Structure 1
Amino acid sequence: MDRPSGLVASRVHASAAIAAVALLVSDHFWRLNHVAVGLAAALLTLVVVHLVVSRAHAGARAEVLVDPLTGLGNRAKLMLDLREEIELSSISTPRILLLLDLDGFKHYNDSFGHPAGDALLERLGQSLSTAVGAHGHAYRIGGDEFCALLRTETARSERLVAAAVAALSEHGRGFDVRSSYGIVTIPEEADEPSEALRIADRRMYAQKRGTASSVDRQTHEVLLRVLREREPELSDHGRVVSELAAAVGRRLALPAEEIDELIRAADLHDVGKMAIPDAILHKPGPLDRDEWGFMHRHTIVGERILSAAPALLPVGRLVRSSHERFDGGGYPDRLEGDSIPLGARIVAACDAFDAMVSPRPYREPVATSEALAELRRCAGTQFDPGVIDALCDELTSAPSASSQAAAPLGS
């Protein structure tokens, strides 16, 4: 009910209550008939029901604007507040919109479970609310994404932003949760809620891509350099596979953090082969049964190498499962279907394609068209059909970085 109609209803029920009381008083002094008494009682009941319903409606409306896990305002509450603050803001009294997204939360959730993940979100939400304090409001707008709307002069905004960013961090053995963020000054940079959120979101993801943990990147680069020095062909193969895997991940709408893990896993999916003897790794003919048994250990070795860096644990899990088959006939764990991580299913398909179109000591490369036909033939048995559809679409679409990289090998 809108405010004017609610006001009218309140006045009507107030009038009814007065009438009811008047009737009861009149009845007490002048002994009106039973009809008058019944009417008075009905009017009083109507007033009580109206009050109860109005309070329940107000409570339900408040719940709609609150995130049930953290108790912070939700996206709907943010949009209401943002519209109001934009109206109140000016160049001399600006507002700061701070959009934050957790880095490392997926790894935490995978490692410790969803209940622990929810508890972490609740702790971080309260920390953010405390950091913002009386200078604005904190919100959780979905998943691991938070927001703060700050009322502060520009001179103090940097300290408040730093405090808010620091509040959304927690570190411990085997995990490191931080946040990337994007800032918009209102009304200087945006004077409409959706525009402000769009700019903040773009800036946040630009920072997320540009400031991924330098330690993680250095570890990744060191391993790539070792692989390149030890096995140049494997390094080149990993580069092609990572480009294809990233394109497929985008087609499947994977989140940015998962695409980053996918690229790293594709780059290093063969890192465990550094532990394979050269006599097996470079054998000019087919491997025998014992040699295959030795070769099948490379994914486990790869996971072990990557797991030495806690931040690369999720990458290690993808590497371990990169030779599983969709029908359960792969190695090392004989996983099947959706129990195989999606990133690993993508790496497996891209790895197989590049292997087919690349020359080997014991065979010539196959044409791209033949490789695509083989992938489609094996969809549902060796490979995830959805992944194969996305990979084939990528390779047969208009020229792209991935198709250009692959084309010379198979044409």
Structure 2
Amino acid sequence: MNEVDLLKKIVQDQTRMLEEKNRLLSDLEYRLKQSIVTGSRKEDLAKFQFQLSRQTIEGQSSLLKTILGSIPSGMMVVDAKQQILSYNPAVQHILKIQEKEILGKTCGQFFGESCEMHTLLKKAMETGEAQFSREVRVRTGSGREIVLAVNAAPIRDSHGDLIGGVEIFSDITGEVDRECQLQKKQESLIHVLTKIMEKKDHYILSHSERVKDLAMGMAKDAGISSPEEQRELSNACLLHDIGLISVPDEILNAKRTGTEKPVDIIRAHPVEGEWMLSSVEGFDAIKRIVRSHHERFDGGGYPDGIKGDHIPFASRIIALTESYDAMLHDAATSRRSQEEVIEEIKENRGSQFDPDLVDIFLNKVPG
């Protein structure tokens, strides 16, 4: 059970307990009424009811505050009109606000109607489904911008009727900052590596850049839509042939000099590339993609002979786009016309290449 479900359960349990207390109170009231005749006894009953109700509410409120106070994430509970009913101490700590700034306001009034903190909770209550956002940027009471991971969910009573909503958020500013720093380091390293590739053989870099453009052109249609996934694919495309820099020049350029390339040395470059990237922080996924970019969909590729969905998805994209580009531009493998390359791709649909990716790719390239 995740944090949102747990907190929803807590609130719902408290609601059920209150309903049970009210039921018992109503039962007690009925019994007392049976024995009351005079007006003075009615006044005593009213006082008793008030005291009992206050004690019940204070007891439940104290228990709920204890629960909310023990949760490190910020949590706000609103009614059906999104007016803030309660919140835990973490809200003030994370947002750097005072009590007077939040009590009695609606979520929209507090965060602003256009703020994702408000729109996320509003959507959860309108659709009846929990909502999540990985990065929501808000400004604290001290003026500092922070990044929050936010969950929002509707709250229903025992009859299934909407009675409010709950929003839970954690400050992930430090984590996001570290990811940005890591990304900058990776970009700097990729720049250095591509310069090394260019110095080794200009074709390796120009080929890799064209493969990147082809792959990114079909990425969204292939289901790669998040910025993180797209960045990973782009970087893998640029580095997919990084292992070739370990191949001696006389072997790498063998076809251009009329001699034959030693196949085993050339075929080792995906493993060499994986090894070169193995010590780079944050490149775990990229190195696996690089290792598998010469696998075939039918299992006849190298270095591992894996097939189908066992091949990383990005590797399947690179296998297709890099073969297309090599057939068009690599003089060492005998250049072909656009029509010949398209026909070759079609013939190897489902054998060398992922058939679904072939369909997407052919809709993107002229042919």
Judge same fold: TM > 0.5, yes or no: yes
Q: How far is 1:221 from its partner?
A: 0.7
The equivalences for 1:55-74 within 5 A come to: none
Q: How far is 1:292 from its partner?
A: 1.2
SS in 1 for 2:305: coil
> Could you report, residue by residue, the CA deviation over 1:304-347 in whole angstroms, capped at 9, with x for unpaired residues?
11223223332222111111111211111222111211111111
8 Å contact from structure 2 (residues 292, 311) kept in 1:
yes
SS in 2 for 1:235: helix
8 Å contact from structure 2 (residues 327, 334) kept in 1:
no
Task: Say whether residues 1:157 and 2:168 are aligned partners.
Answer: no
Q: How far is 1:286 from its partner?
A: 8.2
Relative distance call for 1:142 and 1:358 in structure 2 (3 A) is: same
Relative distance call for 1:382 and 1:374 in structure 2 (3 A) is: same
Of 259, 264, 268, 2:235 maps to 264
Equivalent-residue separation in structure 2 for 1:212 and 1:387 (angstroms):
31
> Could you report, residue by residue, the CA deviation over 1:132-154 in whole angstroms, capped at 9, with x for unpaired residues?
xxxxxxxx9637x14465662xx
SS in 2 for 1:251: coil
Q: How far is 1:373 from its partner?
A: 2.7
Relative distance call for 1:276 and 1:150 in structure 2 (3 A) is: closer
What RMSD in Å do the two structures reach over aligned CA positions?
Answer: 4.6
Equivalent-residue separation in structure 2 for 1:365 and 1:157 (angstroms):
61
Relative distance call for 1:366 and 1:96 in structure 2 (3 A) is: closer
SS in 2 for 1:380: coil
Relative distance call for 1:265 and 1:146 in structure 2 (3 A) is: closer
Other-structure match for 2:217: 247
Equivalent-residue separation in structure 2 for 1:88 and 1:263 (angstroms):
40
Other-structure match for 2:328: 357
Q: How far is 1:70 from its partner?
A: 8.5
Task: Say whether residues 1:86 and 2:102 are aligned partners.
Answer: no
Structure 1 counterpart of 2:143, one-letter code: S
Equivalent-residue separation in structure 2 for 1:20 and 1:97 (angstroms):
51
Equivalent-residue separation in structure 2 for 1:389 and 1:379 (angstroms):
9
8 Å contact from structure 1 (residues 326, 336) kept in 2:
yes
Task: Say whether residues 1:178 and 2:200 are aligned partners.
Answer: no
Other-structure match for 1:217: 187
Equivalent-residue separation in structure 1 for 2:75 and 2:185 (angstroms):
35
Equivalent-residue separation in structure 2 for 1:146 and 1:316 (angstroms):
27
SS in 1 for 2:350: coil
Equivalent-residue separation in structure 2 for 1:240 and 1:70 (angstroms):
48
Relative distance call for 1:295 and 1:177 in structure 2 (3 A) is: farther
Structure 2 counterpart of 1:157, one-letter code: G
SS in 2 for 1:178: helix
Relative distance call for 1:266 and 1:70 in structure 2 (3 A) is: farther
Of 344, 351, 357, 1:381 maps to 351
Percent identity over the alignment? Answer: 24
Q: How far is 1:166 from its partner?
A: 8.1
Q: Which runs of 5+ in 1 are unaligned?
A: 1-9, 27-50, 60-65, 100-139, 171-175, 181-210, 397-406
Equivalent-residue separation in structure 2 for 1:327 and 1:342 (angstroms):
14
Equivalent-residue separation in structure 2 for 1:249 and 1:72 (angstroms):
37
Relative distance call for 1:362 and 1:391 in structure 2 (3 A) is: closer
Structure 1 counterpart of 2:204, one-letter code: L
Other-structure match for 2:341: 371
Of 186, 198, 205, 1:228 maps to 198
> Could you report, residue by residue, the CA deviation over 1:258-288 in whole angstroms, capped at 9, with x for unpaired residues?
1111111111211111111233322226847
Of 222, 245, 249, 1:274 maps to 245
Task: Say whether residues 1:298 and 2:269 are aligned partners.
Answer: yes
SS in 1 for 2:178: strand
Of 119, 126, 132, 1:142 maps to 132
| Structure-1-length-normalised TM-score | 0.53
8 Å contact from structure 1 (residues 98, 161) kept in 2:
no
Relative distance call for 1:315 and 1:22 in structure 2 (3 A) is: same
Q: How far is 1:98 from its partner?
A: 7.9
Relative distance call for 1:225 and 1:15 in structure 2 (3 A) is: closer
The equivalences for 1:324-339 within 5 A come to: 324-339=295-310
The equivalences for 1:1-12 within 5 A come to: none
SS in 1 for 2:240: coil
Q: How far is 1:238 from its partner?
A: 0.7
SS in 2 for 1:348: helix
Higher helix share: 1
Task: Say whether residues 1:318 and 2:289 are aligned partners.
Answer: yes
Task: Say whether residues 1:19 and 2:9 are aligned partners.
Answer: no
8 Å contact from structure 1 (residues 323, 348) kept in 2:
yes
> Could you report, residue by residue, the CA deviation over 1:121-171 in whole angstroms, capped at 9, with x for unpaired residues?
xxxxxxxxxxxxxxxxxxx9637x14465662xxx212x63899985435x
Of 168, 174, 193, 1:169 maps to 174
SS in 2 for 1:161: strand
| Structure-2-length-normalised TM-score | 0.59
Q: Which runs of 5+ in 2 are unaligned?
A: 1-20, 37-55, 85-101, 119-129, 150-169
Relative distance call for 1:356 and 1:224 in structure 2 (3 A) is: same
